[in-house]
Chain A
């Protein structure tokens, strides 16, 4: 494939496996990634896009039906005032956590393996947050006055209640969306410039020219760019933790048994990362295969993600058990009942789906063979997201359907509109994701290149690959040892 000196490969195998497969050159990376935005649109893409569009159409139809008739078309009843809309909102926001974690936190922790997956993970984040934002917007009933949730001066002199976590949510999620989108776009500028320089037609060059904001690859551009990227990473990092903490406050700040627990913020954040990474695995297992990127997004990358899935899945499972312990230890009968009712009440089926998908199945990733097996990790990534959806369902519905007043206890079941709206959001998600795959560089080419062995200044002299060898000091002494 290229003419990389063999020494680089041997030197690299000291402790870690190589980041990227085969002997990729810089040009190979550019070709492998850019090619997919330049070739003729494959028929299969149109097929997938049509399917996703059908889902999107379904979503639009369901929302229109909802607006026309009001929230009565959903399955909400008197004790269960929060149903699918909130479950789906938390589900999608949770998925939207992996992108920024991969791009910001792993960037600050200098994890070079993030470069292969960060672009698509961030895209997934943005699209997932868009799906999430639909639900709080449409669940208000009178959607035409949704701007009342924002602090806009108005003739009613009405002002949002700043003591309410629901308002914090509006800010947390919209700030998260804006910062993720900015971060994604800024990271893409050098790659858009690469595409611009390769473009044949004038209009393609012009569109990409606007998007890449006059990037010329000058030293000065790189310096400013890297500074900006670092600052944005630092800005996005607290958001990874804060957004889902605030989402958990929607529940934890209330006094409903089963919601009113201090463990919620960390447990929600762990769950969000868990489901987000599972979604990244689901998407990348397919797209690396379809787009022939197995050498850039290698099994090693997937394995690292599976380790994070194992870790966060275990944290989440630990939180489930802790909740039970605290319910018993608190001595509050309502709290104890809420948890027993979760595990053995009318929604026990949902509880045990959640337990097995989130706590049990990821434990198989302790085996190296299984966490490197593509079919197995694909299956677990799917069950993880099923489990995480059920986690939100269990938290929302089981806590509400039997609270303090036994006379108002009821059983909640969704209507067809509830279910089809949720199915429709997948249509929106995949429509956007397919557009991304078709038109944007799906791997951060520039970032991949600077963690490749060729990025080392001494690489072409036949030594040096950015790492110390077994018999070399970590940092070359500044003074020559012979003097």
Chain B
């Protein structure tokens, strides 16, 4: 009887085993890297309606975070400042600047400045700024070195796993209350011990159950 397969078919089993194994590993690595929020989301820096520079205001001029985001210690939502907050200074400084035209327009008409939201969470996640800020989570821990950003970009993945990293081991991330807004904070050598002490005395227990954030 004639041969059913050409001679080259002898290589097929080896090729298919290597192909399936290699392809499988390749697919895993592909998903691992390219499908993670670290790849898809970090670095998101949309153009804003006003070319507001955090580097200038927060970095060089040293304006405190809470001067503009003034609800952050008391409300779940860290607000984007209202036009009035901008005008506190800009009614007197650089009143003719072209860059500030949309701000003055908003001031005159009462309309909002259409800021673009960068730190987006899905609608089924509840995050409260006040709880985190008062417990000692630094602004920088989640938002990065805002004092160096000309345009604000997303610096952390904001994925659930990323949240849980801190909720499971808060002692690695907490800082003293007075250092919450510090940019470029360096933890003291024995910070883990100090944090554990604080966690015990202040009873800081970050929840890891589903309904802590999904309710």
A196→B160 CA distance, assembly (Å): 54
**A209 contacts across to B, CB distance below 8 A:** 4-5
A205→B3 CA distance, assembly (Å): 10
A461 within 8 A of partner (CB): no
Q: Are B36 and A157 in contact (CB under 8 A)?
A: no
The answer, among B4, B38, B160, for a CB contact under 8 Å with A156, is: B160
**B38 contacts across to A, CB distance below 8 A:** 155
User: Chain A 5-33 against B: per-residue CB contact (8 Å), 1 yes, 0 no?
Assistant: 00000000000000000000000000000
A202 within 8 A of partner (CB): yes
Q: Are A202 and B160 in contact (CB under 8 A)?
A: no
A205→B5 CA distance, assembly (Å): 9
A209→B13 CA distance, assembly (Å): 13
List B145-194 residues whose CB lies under 8 Å from chain A.
157, 159-162, 164-165
Min CB distance A115 to B, Å, is 28
Q: Are B5 and A157 in contact (CB under 8 A)?
A: no
Q: Are B4 and A206 in contact (CB under 8 A)?
A: yes
The answer, among B4, B37, B164, for a CB contact under 8 Å with A157, is: B164
**A157 contacts across to B, CB distance below 8 A:** 160-161, 164-165
A224 within 8 A of partner (CB): no
List A196-230 residues whose CB lies under 8 Å from chain B.
196, 202, 205-206, 209
Interface range on chain B: under 10, 10 to 19, 20 to 34, or 35 or more? 10 to 19
A205→B1 CA distance, assembly (Å): 12
The answer, among A154, A156, A206, for a CB contact under 8 Å with B5, is: A206
**B36 contacts across to A, CB distance below 8 A:** 155
A175 within 8 A of partner (CB): no
A234 within 8 A of partner (CB): no
**A205 contacts across to B, CB distance below 8 A:** 4
**A196 contacts across to B, CB distance below 8 A:** 4
A202→B165 CA distance, assembly (Å): 60
Min CB distance A195 to B, Å, is 13
A64 within 8 A of partner (CB): no
Please give me the residue from chain A that is nearest to B162 by CB atom: A155
Total residues of chain A contacting the partner, CB 8 A? 10
Min CB distance B161 to A, Å, is 4
Q: Are B4 and A154 in contact (CB under 8 A)?
A: no
Min CB distance B125 to A, Å, is 11
A302→B37 CA distance, assembly (Å): 59
Q: Are A155 and B4 in contact (CB under 8 A)?
A: no
Please give me the residue from chain A that is nearest to B38 by CB atom: A155
**A206 contacts across to B, CB distance below 8 A:** 4-5
Min CB distance A153 to B, Å, is 8
Q: Are B160 and A158 in contact (CB under 8 A)?
A: yes
Please give me the residue from chain A that is nearest to B35 by CB atom: A155
Min CB distance A256 to B, Å, is 23
A205→B164 CA distance, assembly (Å): 57
Q: Are B5 and A155 in contact (CB under 8 A)?
A: no
Please give me the residue from chain B that is nearest to A156 by CB atom: B160
**B161 contacts across to A, CB distance below 8 A:** 154-157
Please give me the residue from chain A that is nearest to B12 by CB atom: A210
**A158 contacts across to B, CB distance below 8 A:** 160
A56→B36 CA distance, assembly (Å): 37
Please give me the residue from chain B that is nearest to A213 by CB atom: B13
A206→B12 CA distance, assembly (Å): 13
A158→B37 CA distance, assembly (Å): 15
User: Chain A 142-180 against B: per-residue CB contact (8 Å), 1 yes, 0 no?
Assistant: 000000000000111110000000000000000000000
A157→B208 CA distance, assembly (Å): 11
A196→B162 CA distance, assembly (Å): 56
Q: Are B157 and A155 in contact (CB under 8 A)?
A: yes
Please give me the residue from chain A that is nearest to B32 by CB atom: A153
Min CB distance B41 to A, Å, is 10
A167→B162 CA distance, assembly (Å): 25
A171→B7 CA distance, assembly (Å): 41
Q: Are A155 and B164 in contact (CB under 8 A)?
A: no
**A155 contacts across to B, CB distance below 8 A:** 36-38, 157, 159-162
**B157 contacts across to A, CB distance below 8 A:** 155
Please give me the residue from chain B that is nearest to A204 by CB atom: B4
Please give me the residue from chain B that is nearest to A202 by CB atom: B4
**B5 contacts across to A, CB distance below 8 A:** 206, 209
A158→B160 CA distance, assembly (Å): 8
A383→B157 CA distance, assembly (Å): 58
User: Chain B 103-145 against A: per-residue CB contact (8 Å), 1 yes, 0 no?
Assistant: 0000000000000000000000000000000000000000000
**B165 contacts across to A, CB distance below 8 A:** 157
**B164 contacts across to A, CB distance below 8 A:** 156-157
* A156, A157, A196 — most chain B CB neighbours (10 Å): A157
What 3 A-B pairs have minimum CB-CB distances, sorted nearest first? A157-B161, A156-B160, A155-B159
> Which A residues lie at the B interface, using CB under 8 A?
154-158, 196, 202, 205-206, 209
Known contacts A155-B159, A158-B160, A196-B4, then 15 further A-B pairs from the complex at CB < 8 Å, ordered by chain A residue: A155-B36, A155-B37, A155-B38, A155-B160, A155-B161, A156-B159, A156-B160, A156-B161, A156-B164, A157-B160, A202-B4, A205-B4, A206-B4, A206-B5, A209-B5
Residue contacts A-B, CB under 8 angstroms, 25 given: A154-B161, A155-B36, A155-B37, A155-B38, A155-B157, A155-B159, A155-B160, A155-B161, A155-B162, A156-B159, A156-B160, A156-B161, A156-B164, A157-B160, A157-B161, A157-B164, A157-B165, A158-B160, A196-B4, A202-B4, A205-B4, A206-B4, A206-B5, A209-B4, A209-B5
